[in-house]
Amino acid sequence: MASKVLFTAGAKGGTGKSTAARLLITFLRQNNADPLLLDLDDESSTLSRFFPEAQRVTIKKKSSHDVLVEQAISGTHPLILADLKAGTGREVLDWWLDVPFEELQAMAVTFVCFGSITSSPDSVQSFLTWVAALQDRVSYVVFKNLKDGEYLPDYEQTAEAAQFRSLFCPHHVVVPRLDEEYQTELERLNLTIAEVLDSSDGISARRKDLGPILSRLLVRARLRSYQRRIYEQFDPIRALLLPE
Amino acid sequence: MPKPYQSKLIAYEAEIAALRATRPPTPYARIAEILCERYALSVHRDTIHSFVRVRSHGMKVFCFAPQVETVCLDLKRKTSVGPKPSGVGLSALSSTTDPRPAPKFNYIPSDRYNLTRLTTEQVDAMERQFHEGEN
């Protein structure tokens, strides 16, 4: 069975990699895909906090990442989503260079890389470092996370980023800024937007109390609109995201 | 059963040995840059240091132990027979290792900001140029 591995990339923390992963997972689930979730962030375990069913992988050595390829070639999961931790740049990049992409292609395993960039130059630099290592062996989706503002000159106006866009034709998803109050509540309660929207009587499907802020009708309406804006951008790339 | 660990630098052993055999020895950071430029191999200078150290057999300034260096010199001699390619020496040695396809996209971040800011017009022109080049 063909497997597709979706993974987050970039060594800089706080760029919205796990936020992107969360939105992606809820979108995939809404489209009847059930990805195997691998949480390779053994420091903050963000993915496991929001999705307790995620498989936690402790990164102690380079070979710890082998689980990604092993799961992909086992064929039991047509779709795998791996959330890599920030700050693992070098070791993870070294690992990628060992991945036998040609052999995996013959086994119908494909990779999609999700980068997340903000207005911080470091977010662009660390992502481009990954691109230089991965080249055209993966497809790219770039999340333009506007949490720190809409000014992204290091991605939109630099020669290196322009070259990346021209060579690899990445897909772009703009993640608008979400009100800090809502964002903090979601993080505090480890709730995804989809969970909040699917809840009833202020209780989520995981039996979590939404609290006074997320239970408000207007807040839920804003979250719905926010989620819709992102899902609408996923729609044109469904074929890339969903299993074949 | 998992395979025993093998350094990815083994394929570049001869080249690294030659670089460390220069006087003064080529710094590890520079070797890392050379490997990145030539083979798109990203490797930290510490990795090269460890790689050389375990092969130095206790020499104080780490370079390859004599038997490995001999192999390198043999390689040098072999490449010096017949017409010499341009850039004899290290580039000749590199031709003995497995060359990888040149990377399409190159970017090596420095400690300082090293992206090249352009105006919107320049970016548009650059992207047009790329697309025209493809067609």
Model confidence pLDDT, tens digit, residues A105-118: 888 899 999 999 99
**Whether residue B93 has pLDDT greater than 50:** no
Model confidence pLDDT, tens digit, residues B27-76: 888 888 888 888 888 888 888 888 888 887 766 666 666 554 444 444 44
Residue matched to tokens 């992107």: A20
User: What is the C-alpha separation between B38 and B30, in angstroms, rounded?
Assistant: 12
User: What is the C-alpha separation between A239 and A244, in angstroms, rounded?
Assistant: 7
Beta-carbon neighbour count of residue A79 at 10 Å?
20
Predicted confidence band of residue B102 (pLDDT cuts 50, 70, 90): confident
The nearest CA of chain B is from the CA of A51 a distance in Å of 30
Query: Do B130 and A167 make contact, defined as CB atoms within 8 angstroms?
Result: yes
pTM surpassing 0.90? no
Angle between helices B13-20 and B45-54 (to 10 degrees): 90
Query: Do B115 and A125 make contact, defined as CB atoms within 8 angstroms?
Result: yes
- Give the nearest chain B residue to A66 (CA atoms): B2
- Two structure tokens written together for A27: 């979108």
Q: Is the ipTM of this complex over 0.85?
A: no
Model confidence pLDDT, tens digit, residues A41-69: 877 788 999 999 999 988 777 777 788 88
Cβ contacts (< 8 Å) between A167 and chain B: which residues? 104-105, 130
